Amino acid sequence: MFGWYPALEYQSLRVVTKKSRRAGISEDVIAAIAAQNQLDIALYQSAKQRFERQFAHMLLALGQSPLDLLNPNLLKTSLERHYEQRFVAAHPTPCTALEFDFRQAAFGMGWHRRNGGLNGIKAMGGWFRWTGPGTVSTLDFPLSTQTDLTVRLQISNAIAVDVLDSLTLTVNAQPIKLLPVEPTPTNQATPGSTAGRSRLLHGIIPRAALVSAKGFVRFTFGVNRTAPISLITPNQADTRLVGIAIRRLELVPRVSGWNWLKRLWPQWRDR
């Protein structure tokens, strides 16, 4: 309906650990409960029927049949193809530079909700997203293939130092070497909860890596593991499995030498 990447991996949150059972409850009590919740039951049944109609319409639009659900890979492939078509239609003009800080919609998979007040609607210390619950996260961008690009990446937090150290980036499946920008927050660490777990990185993306038959460029971030965020926020009832928190990604045409990057980075980092 929205042309989003299919949610292939997710984590169920706020799950009740001890569910009530019907065993031991008399039929009279069950009938009384149903009588007091007639409107809720009717609403649920209406929503269920509506979902089933919309799901059947989706299968028809994708050229699928209910029998195809016996092979989930067929539905996954069709949904991904639909996403790719919608993405290209929504981004007809490729760009040679961009700034991405998660105020924009994230086209890809493997991300938790945007951090901030009201589930990310209101900024609190700037917006960012945690990777997770799996170890692979992607972002898709409509990029031109005219020139090599410099990628600048701001990691504002990580669940652990070894997770941050394990970070890899591929662009259309081509590995991109990420190097720290000096001075980094780690070298200038002041006492704080993210000391050693934040980093400023940069790398060079050759224009050959930007060529894709899909019509867009896929950035894939990988980490060695994810862990409950409660490890670094023990006072919060948050059970999300997370890896690293990315605050900003910037792409600019490559310029020979990188002293200019060291001069501009403090200003960019504090924005």
State how far the Cα of 64 lies from the Cα of 200, in Å rounded to an integer.
45
Cβ atoms of 133 and 185 within 8 Å: the answer is: no
Same structural domain for residues 197 and 114? yes
Instruction: Give the pLDDT confidence score for residue 238 in this predicted structure.
Output: 84
- Digit-coded pLDDT (tens) for 87-141: 999 999 999 999 999 888 899 999 998 887 766 677 666 789 999 999 999 999 9
- Digit-coded pLDDT (tens) for 230-263: 999 877 778 899 999 999 999 999 976 555 455 5
Same structural domain for residues 137 and 56? no
State how far the Cα of 150 lies from the Cα of 261, in Å rounded to an integer.
10
Which residue has 């890809």 as its token pair? 108
Same structural domain for residues 169 and 258? yes
Instruction: Give the pLDDT confidence score for residue 194 in this predicted structure.
Output: 66
Same structural domain for residues 244 and 158? yes
Residue 208 lies in a domain: yes
Cβ-based neighbours of 83, under 8 Å, separated by 6 or more: 3, 4, 5, 6
CA 178 vs. chain centroid, Å, equals 20
- In terms of residue numbers, what domain contains 50? 27-61
Residue 21 lies in a domain: no
Same structural domain for residues 36 and 135? no
CB atoms within 10 A of CB 135: 18
- Digit-coded pLDDT (tens) for 161-192: 999 999 999 999 999 999 998 654 444 444 34
Residue 128 lies in a domain: yes
Closest CA to 101 of 129, 122, 131: 129
Instruction: Give the pLDDT confidence score for residue 115 in this predicted structure.
Output: 85
Same structural domain for residues 57 and 99? no
- Digit-coded pLDDT (tens) for 8-28: 788 888 787 777 777 788 899
Q: How many domains does the chain contain in total?
A: 2
Residue 20 lies in a domain: no
- pTM confidence score: 0.83
Instruction: Give the pLDDT confidence score for residue 14 in this predicted structure.
Output: 79
Q: What are residue 153's DSSP bridge partners?
A: 201, 249
